[in-house]
């Protein structure tokens, strides 16, 4: 399967130019024979309010900053789109027909319910999916709302699952769906991860607008470097899928945006990974600040495999929200950074026969009972290029592509 992730930096309230920005990235890449193209959450309708909010979290007091933030229904009203009939849907259809591929893109949906009962319209943070003929084949509505969504959107009825011709059994989520519900559910509820297993999905699509806690200055110094803290957090939230060692590979697509909005910095790091028999393989991974189309072919050998997670993954929660408690042991590390962070006691980790995944990072491989995961915060240790594996026929890759 050939999959594309369109990572770009839409600007606040500038829908027309945001459409042009996406077109520009696509035209530069000129992709051939794509099967699937995925865009970020609310891909063309960014709008910002940057007032800081004080949060009392388990790791002390900090501030979170708002991204894709609509303070009220009134603020988002100019950007709302009718179900499968707005500018995002039109762009998706045009692009699907042009490139003969399935397209998924996030948009703010307005649902007319007047035919059912006299009531105000309903509003959702949604993801439209269009097939190669330009027909709408899915319209998923975000189930777990982030606090900025709650100012205008309703919850969807549940995570998406369904059979899509050309893709197989698909599970879909939008950004916050990957987290514990309202950050109140236990970390080890793993709602989305268990959903993937329950529906026996072979493909997982996650459309995102995920932030980093780093400031714009430090984050922009290495735009081609992935944000491994964010990646480790995403994978930590898929622990049940990794631990299950289910038969057959599960492809996971993380389509995030990049760039800044005032004080807010998006994490980029869009990726396509494969989870197979407990191993995490990397087919492609973009840098934190790259405005680029990532194209991978999952029928080819992966470019790298994940051997361990960043020790500071607990800092990589979305939209600068306090990380929830871990459900697995998190050994201390000399690379550990941040205030008031220590070991988190685990439950059953010693008997699992698996190095558990936690917000603080863990090794993805079988391990003897009671063994501790390998912790690292260096990217070159996080990814093991396949050029180091004797069974790989791939040529060496420059660091900038890893």
More confident call, 248 vs 376: 248
Q: What is the pLDDT of residue 69?
A: 53
More confident call, 306 vs 46: 306
Q: Are 108 and 123 in contact (CB under 8 A)?
A: yes
pLDDT at 74 over 70: no
Q: What is the pLDDT of residue 328?
A: 33
Mean pLDDT calculated for residue range 346-353? 27
Confidence of residue 246 (pLDDT cuts 50, 70, 90): confident
What DSSP element (H or E) covers 163?
Answer: strand 160-164
Share of the chain above pLDDT 70, in %: 68
Confidence of residue 77 (pLDDT cuts 50, 70, 90): confident
Structure tokens at 27: 């035209």
Mean pLDDT calculated for residue range 95-109? 98
Asked which of 52-66, 254-268, 270-284 is least confident by mean pLDDT, the reply is 52-66
Structure tokens at 320: 């600068």
Which tens digit of pLDDT belongs to each residue from 356-380? 333 333 333 333 333 333 323 334 4
Q: What is the pLDDT of residue 119?
A: 66
Smallest Cα–Cα separation from 359: which of 326, 322, 310?
Answer: 326
Structure tokens at 74: 């009134």
320-324, 362-366, 396-400 — most confident range: 320-324
pLDDT at 58 over 70: no
Residue with tokens 């491994």: 228
Mean pLDDT calculated for residue range 333-343? 24
Smallest Cα–Cα separation from 296: which of 19, 16, 35?
Answer: 35
**Mean pLDDT score across all residues of the chain:** 76
Which tens digit of pLDDT belongs to each residue from 87-98? 999 999 999 999
Q: What is the pLDDT of residue 73?
A: 66
Mean pLDDT calculated for residue range 152-179? 97
Q: Are 174 and 105 in contact (CB under 8 A)?
A: no
Cα(274)–Cα(16) distance, rounded to whole angstroms? 35
Q: What is the pLDDT of residue 339?
A: 25
Residues in the chain: 402
Which tens digit of pLDDT belongs to each residue from 11-49? 877 899 999 999 999 999 999 999 999 999 999 986 544
| Domains of the chain and CATH, by start | 2-321+378-401 (3.60.110.10)
Mean pLDDT calculated for residue range 339-352? 26
Mean pLDDT calculated for residue range 271-297? 96
pLDDT at 249 over 70: yes
* Torsion angle of the four alpha carbons 270, 187, 245, 348, in this order, in degrees rounded to the nearest 10: 150
Cα(306)–Cα(233) distance, rounded to whole angstroms? 13
pLDDT at 236 over 70: yes
Q: Are 171 and 195 in contact (CB under 8 A)?
A: yes
Confidence of residue 71 (pLDDT cuts 50, 70, 90): low
């Amino acid at each position: 399967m050939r999959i594309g992730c369109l990572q770009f930096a839409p600007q606040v309230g500038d829908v027309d130019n945001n459409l042009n920005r996406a077109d520009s990235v696509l035209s530069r890449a000129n992709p051939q024979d794509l099967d699937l193209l995925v865009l970020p959450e609310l891909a063309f309708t960014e709008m910002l309010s940057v007032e800081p909010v004080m949060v009392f979290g388990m790791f002390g007091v900090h501030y979170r900053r708002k991204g894709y933030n609509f303070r009220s229904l009134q603020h988002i009203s100019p950007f709302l789109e009718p179900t499968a009939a707005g500018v995002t849907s039109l762009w998706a259809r045009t692009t699907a027909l042009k490139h003969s591929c399935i397209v998924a893109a996030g948009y703010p949906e307005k649902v007319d319910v007047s035919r059912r009962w006299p009531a105000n319209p309903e509003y959702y943070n949604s993801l439209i999916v269009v097939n190669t003929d330009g027909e709408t084949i899915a319209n998923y509505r975000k189930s777990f709302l982030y606090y900025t969504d709650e100012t205008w959107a309703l919850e969807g009825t549940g995570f998406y699952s369904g059979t899509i011709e050309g893709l197989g059994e698909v599970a879909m989520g939008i950004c916050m769906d990957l987290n514990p519900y309202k950050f109140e559910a236990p970390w080890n509820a793993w709602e989305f991860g268990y959903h993937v297993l329950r529906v026996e999905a072979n493909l997982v699509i996650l459309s995102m607008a995920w932030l980093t806690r780093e400031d714009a200055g430090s984050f922009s110094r290495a735009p081609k470097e992935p944000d491994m803290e964010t990646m480790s957090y995403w994978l930590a939230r898929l622990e049940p899928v990794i631990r299950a060692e289910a038969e057959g590979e599960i492809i996971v697509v993380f389509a995030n945006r990049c760039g800044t909005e005032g004080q807010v910095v998006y994490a980029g790091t869009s990726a396509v990974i494969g989870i197979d028999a407990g191993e995490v393989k990397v087919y492609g991974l973009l840098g934190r600040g790259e405005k680029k189309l990532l194209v991978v072919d999952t029928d080819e050998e992966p470019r790298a495999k994940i051997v361990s997670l960043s020790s500071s993954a607990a800092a990589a929660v979305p939209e600068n929200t306090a990380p929830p408690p871990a459900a697995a042991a998190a050994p201390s590390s000399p690379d550990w950074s941040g205030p008031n962070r220590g070991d988190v006691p685990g439950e059953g980790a010693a008997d699992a026969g698996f190095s558990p995944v936690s917000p603080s990072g863990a090794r993805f491989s079988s391990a003897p009972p009671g063994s501790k995961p390998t912790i690292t915060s260096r990217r070159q240790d996080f990814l093991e290029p396949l050029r180091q594996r004797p069974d790989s026929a791939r040529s060496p890759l420059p660091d900038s592509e890893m």
